[in-house]
Structure 1
Amino acid sequence: MSRHDMLGGVALVLWAFLGVLTRLAAGIPPLQLTAMAMTVGGAAGLAVVLARGQASRLRQGALAWAHGVGGLAGYHALYFAALALAPPVEANLLNYLWPLLIVLLSAPVLGLALDARRLSGVVLGLAGCALLLGGGAGFAPAAWPGFLCAAAAALVWALYSVTARRLAGVPTEAVAGFCLGAALLSGVLHALTETTVVPDARQAVAVLLMGLGPLGAAFFLWDAGMKRGDPRLLGTLAYATPVASTALLLAAGEGQAGWRVLAAAALVAGGGLLAAMGRGGKPAKAARL
């Protein structure tokens, strides 16, 4: 595993805390929460960029801005809509189809080979996610728009992640601007569709931690990992995120552990290990803006 693969792995660890932090911030409308947290993350990133004298790296072409702002804002808009319209646990797990899609899209988009070990790892990871889903059948018809939003969110994030490799000429520092752009877009949508809630102390701390971690630093680390690491490995290892997130929620007293969770964790961990043992393919050349 390369250094950039490890950076992408740290992003996955940070994303595992998103569920717990979201529970702490409960009561804040989704788009407002997205705008606030991304403002924190973008501002922190911008401060680092300016302190290093790298402001010029924020000047990127229209394609880079469309990719960054559209990917960050579009994914979260679809994700929060999914959790609002469908049962949140099932919608969240359906959203975690994006690791599978990353591994599969790496072949046609980037020209990376998918060997038998990686494909087997994908199958194990998908089986773990399916086991966590718990065989949820018989959902009300009103829930299906939410499930469609969850599936669309998975596709948007997978495409954002994989195509980031082809935009490797865009420096990671530019993500600070993309976060602020996504915050602005989310804020406008919030003003049009939601009622503003003034956060209390608990919610404010949750927003701060969320902005510094899952909706902040994680974006920069993931960007570096997807552009310079192995997207097939990171995509398969990402199956551990819903398991880790579930474990943290259980530790916080949000549920009870059972054989299903333990078995799913074993399948996900085994799939990640199997994928890590796969042979690497020749990466496609990054496109220049």
Structure 2
Amino acid sequence: MRQGFENLFRESAAPGAHRTLALVNMRANAYALGAIALWASLAALAVSLGHVPPLFLTGAALVLGSVPSWPLVLRDPAQWRIPLRTLALGVYGLFAYHFLLFLALRHAPAVQANLINYLWPLLIVLLAPLLLPGMRLRWTHVLAGLLGFSGAALAITGGHTPDAALAWGYLPALAAAFIWASYSLLTRRVPAFPTTAIGLFGLVSGLLALLCHALLEPAAQLQARDWALLALLGLGPLGGAFFLWDKALKLGDARHIGILSYLTPVASTALLMLVRGQSPSASLVLATALILGAAILGMRA
């Protein structure tokens, strides 16, 4: 009889556990989509600030992006008391990623370099079983990852073939993709840290970028409009997006979130076209269908 009651309890509890898990995944996906929405504005803002030296742009935006966490840290300084290796991981993710990405954009055509950079969602899906315990990669995840990358490639290139003659310039972009994917996954391997600590990652990374700017680039000359756009860049794609991304990774399945990330190049391209007054192309519509199909397939897996 006792075993019968235990079985009955397990059967009645299982639906509730599934509902709780579903709600957690919905919250994680909402945070991830919020980060993706902010990252979608990166290209449009970068075009408007194309005359600003890239290292200064990165450094100033990351420092500004850390500002929302300052009041929380003033109330509770322990929010930024994290192990040194956790801070090193944060700097690895934010500073090294942007440094290599801007290096790639200087030495290879921007569209093609950006395409290589958008390998990071696929790498999140494929590297999750290698870097996270308890993760298992299924053939549906691989199929969804490849389908999503096909959509991302189509969205960025418009169906054109990248210039193989400049392949050497793509290496920093490939390294950047690996860094962001591995950073995103390895935040689950270090001791638990509050999301507020992302502000410390951004502050230290931004100061390093500004130091590199002082050593490697001419002094930046900004107008009032530039500072306003820089504030939007810092509080959005190079600031708030990191906090939302960290919350998503803490709550959700990294494989599903990686597949959802394929929406970023589509949203970014669409917003850039809107800012420029261009109409969506057939390739962008097809890319959207591929990426949404990949996201649905990945989540069903």
Contact 1:25 1:204 (8 Å CA) reproduced: no
Matched with 1:282 is none
SS in 2 for 1:165: coil
Matched with 1:284 is none
Q: Determine the C-alpha separation between the residues in 1 that align with 2:40 and 2:222.
A: 23
Q: Determine the C-alpha separation between the residues in 2 that align with 1:249 and 1:168.
A: 39
Matched with 2:71 is 47
**Residue among 124, 131, 136 paired with 2:161:** 136
Matched, 1:101 2:140: no
Equivalenced residues, count: 274
Which residue identity is paired with 1:159? S
Q: Determine the C-alpha separation between the residues in 2 that align with 1:77 and 1:256.
A: 32
Stretch deviating more after TM superposition (198-207 or 15-24): 198-207
Matched with 1:165 is 188
Q: Determine the C-alpha separation between the residues in 2 that align with 1:38 and 1:254.
A: 29
Matched, 1:116 2:139: yes
SS in 2 for 1:225: helix
Matched, 1:196 2:219: yes
**Residue among 87, 94, 106 paired with 2:109:** 87
Q: CA deviation at 1:153?
A: 0.4
Contact 1:131 1:264 (8 Å CA) reproduced: yes
Matched with 2:91 is 69
Q: Determine the C-alpha separation between the residues in 1 that align with 2:227 and 2:196.
A: 26
Q: Determine the C-alpha separation between the residues in 2 that align with 1:38 and 1:108.
A: 30
Q: CA deviation at 1:98?
A: 0.1
Matched with 2:202 is 179
Which residue identity is paired with 1:238? S
Q: TM-score, normalised by structure 2?
A: 0.87
SS in 1 for 2:115: helix
Q: Determine the C-alpha separation between the residues in 2 that align with 1:255 and 1:193.
A: 36
| CA distances 1:80-124 after superposition (whole Å, capped 9, x unpaired) | 111111100111111000000000010111131222332221121
Q: Determine the C-alpha separation between the residues in 2 that align with 1:272 and 1:225.
A: 15
Matched with 1:32 is 56
Q: CA deviation at 1:228?
A: 2.4
Q: Determine the C-alpha separation between the residues in 1 that align with 2:175 and 2:249.
A: 20
Stretch deviating more after TM superposition (83-92 or 112-121): 112-121
Matched with 1:225 is 248
Which residue identity is paired with 2:61? A
Q: Determine the C-alpha separation between the residues in 2 that align with 1:176 and 1:80.
A: 21
Contact 2:92 2:179 (8 Å CA) reproduced: no
Q: Determine the C-alpha separation between the residues in 1 that align with 2:269 and 2:277.
A: 9
Matched, 1:263 2:286: yes
| CA distances 1:3-61 after superposition (whole Å, capped 9, x unpaired) | 133212211111011001111212111100011101111122223432xx222120111
Q: Determine the C-alpha separation between the residues in 2 that align with 1:243 and 1:35.
A: 26
Stretch deviating more after TM superposition (205-214 or 163-172): 163-172
Contact 1:102 1:158 (8 Å CA) reproduced: yes
Q: TM-score, normalised by structure 1?
A: 0.90
Which residue identity is paired with 2:62? M
Which residue identity is paired with 1:265? T
| CA distances 1:186-225 after superposition (whole Å, capped 9, x unpaired) | 0111111001212112221111001111111111111121
Query: Percent identical across equivalent pairs?
Result: 41
Q: Determine the C-alpha separation between the residues in 1 that align with 2:260 and 2:141.
A: 11
Q: Determine the C-alpha separation between the residues in 2 that align with 1:81 and 1:256.
A: 31
SS in 1 for 2:168: helix
Contact 1:7 1:221 (8 Å CA) reproduced: yes
Q: Determine the C-alpha separation between the residues in 1 that align with 2:73 and 2:81.
A: 12
Matched with 2:46 is 22
Contact 2:91 2:202 (8 Å CA) reproduced: yes
RMSD: 1.5
| CA distances 1:122-176 after superposition (whole Å, capped 9, x unpaired) | 1210211232333424443xx3332111111000000000101112511111111
Unaligned segments of structure 1, at least 5 residues: 279-289
| CA distances 1:236-270 after superposition (whole Å, capped 9, x unpaired) | 01001000000001111175532211111110111
